[in-house]
Amino acid sequence: MGKASPIIKRYSNVKHGVEGPEHDPYAFTEHTMYQEFTNGTKVEICLHLGLVSYLDVNETRVDVDDSMDFKCFIRCVEQAKFRRRTRCPCGSRHITWRQGYPGEDLYLCDDCGALVDSEFGLSAVI
């Protein structure tokens, strides 16, 4: 079995919004997860749950049934976020959340001050 290529870039995002006609709007939630590996492979997965539900994997659309259970996918995205925020490259596990500009969440290492992770919530500024 070949050796796994290390991840050099990773992010995840949750977007909430409104779609559909103005007189009858529907709420939607979109979960996106992106990873880039040292061998050049890029993977982007986007799960859109709303008026229409679909799953995009590297821009290839797969229609999904509304009755499908996506709790596992969402749990995996949340766990990946949590794991990413629990350890600094310096080895420290002392990470503190701080608010940056409106909509910006920063996760800083208490020991070395490095930025461990960040998120931007567009809905906070629109």
The C-alpha angle 71, 75, 77, rounded to 5 degrees, equals: 120
> Of 40, 38, 43, which Cα lies nearest the Cα of 11?
43
Q: What percentage of the chain exceeds 70 in pLDDT?
A: 71
pLDDT at 33: 83
pTM of the model: 0.50
Q: Are the C-beta atoms of 60 and 53 separated by less than 8 Å?
A: no
pLDDT at 51: 83
Band (pLDDT 50/70/90 cuts) for residue 1 is very low
Alpha helices in 1-85 (DSSP H): 71-85
pLDDT digit string (tens) for 31-90?
888 887 777 777 888 888 888 888 888 777 777 765 566 666 666 656 655 555 667 888
End-to-end CA distance of the chain: 48
